[in-house]
Amino acid sequence: MNISAFVAAAAHDMKNSICVIAAYLEDALAQIAQQGAQLPPQARQLTSQALYETQRVNGNLVQLMAIYKLDEGMYPFEPAEVELEEFAAEVLERVRPLAHIKGLSIESDLGGCEAVWFFDRDLIASVVVQALFNAVRYATRAVRLTLCTEGGQLEIRVEDDGPGFPEFMLAQGFPSQQGINVQTGSTGLGLFFSRLVANLHRNGERIGSTRLENASTLDGGRFVITLP
């Protein structure tokens, strides 16, 4: 087994363990909610942070495995027809437990959207779910998922009412190469992965793209992925 294959296998094992931990946390929170109990503010904050970090690590491992398979030509990239209303409900449900423990409203808007679109469901779901987790992490009251079709393209927007993206992130966009930020520990993996996934989606001369903005309708940050 070569080194990259070994790393991919190890990442898969870690992902399984992280999924179990996340499931235990979500189940515990669900039982608390069913009993009508209220966590003390500090416990609520610590629990939400633990759940966020667990889901973030899980998402990173999924993305690392996908990057490995794409690089090795092993990923079955096959865009197919996706019902957008069902897709929106699926990705929102993934982040709802964390939004609930933080007391956030989470909503979707498909008012200007086609009923279906063609894309790789698993890859796009991974990108959007991670964007939603980030939005929930920094939001103070609300998170919104918007899907709309304009000019023959689908835009998926994730917005929050948090402080917005820092200027250096807006300036550098989605770099293909980025070192490790020693202050935040960020490797830029999520941004790299989202751009890679977007660029895989093509229709004639049109290519998928991503962007960051501080033009959210909720007055916070906005992540956008556009698919032709």
Which tokens hold the place of 169? 């992130």
Question: What pLDDT score was predicted for residue 116?
Answer: 95
Task: Decide which of 42 and 164 is more confident.
Answer: 164
pLDDT for 185 beyond 90: no
pLDDT for 1 beyond 90: no
- Cβ atoms of residues 159 and 89 within 8 Å: no
Task: Using alpha carbons, select from 76, 66, 158, 71 the residue that is nearest to residue 109.
Answer: 158
Question: What pLDDT score was predicted for residue 183?
Answer: 42
Q: Which of 121-125, 138-142, 183-187 has the lowest mean pLDDT?
A: 183-187
Average pLDDT value for residue range 103-114? 90
Which tokens hold the place of 6? 């070994």
Cβ burial 198-225 (10 Å sphere, 16+ → b, else e): bebbeeeeeebbbbbeeebebebbbbbb
The pTM of the full predicted model, rounded to 2 decimals, is: 0.82
pLDDT for 3 beyond 80: no
Task: Decide which of 47 and 194 is more confident.
Answer: 194
**Per this entry, what is the length of the chain?**
228
How do residues 4-37 score in pLDDT, each as one tens digit?
A: 665 666 666 676 777 777 777 777 766 666 665 6
pLDDT for 179 beyond 50: no
Question: What pLDDT score was predicted for residue 49?
Answer: 79
- Cβ atoms of residues 163 and 122 within 8 Å: no
Which domains, and CATH codes, for the chain?
3-227 (3.30.565.10)
- Cβ atoms of residues 209 and 228 within 8 Å: no
- Cβ atoms of residues 119 and 227 within 8 Å: yes
Which residue blocks in the chain are alpha helix, DSSP H? 3-34, 41-71, 84-101, 121-138, 167-172, 189-200
Q: Which of 28-42, 76-90, 170-184, 201-215 has the lowest mean pLDDT?
A: 170-184
How do residues 51-78 score in pLDDT, each as one tens digit?
A: 788 888 888 888 888 888 888 888 889 8
Question: What pLDDT score was predicted for residue 122?
Answer: 94
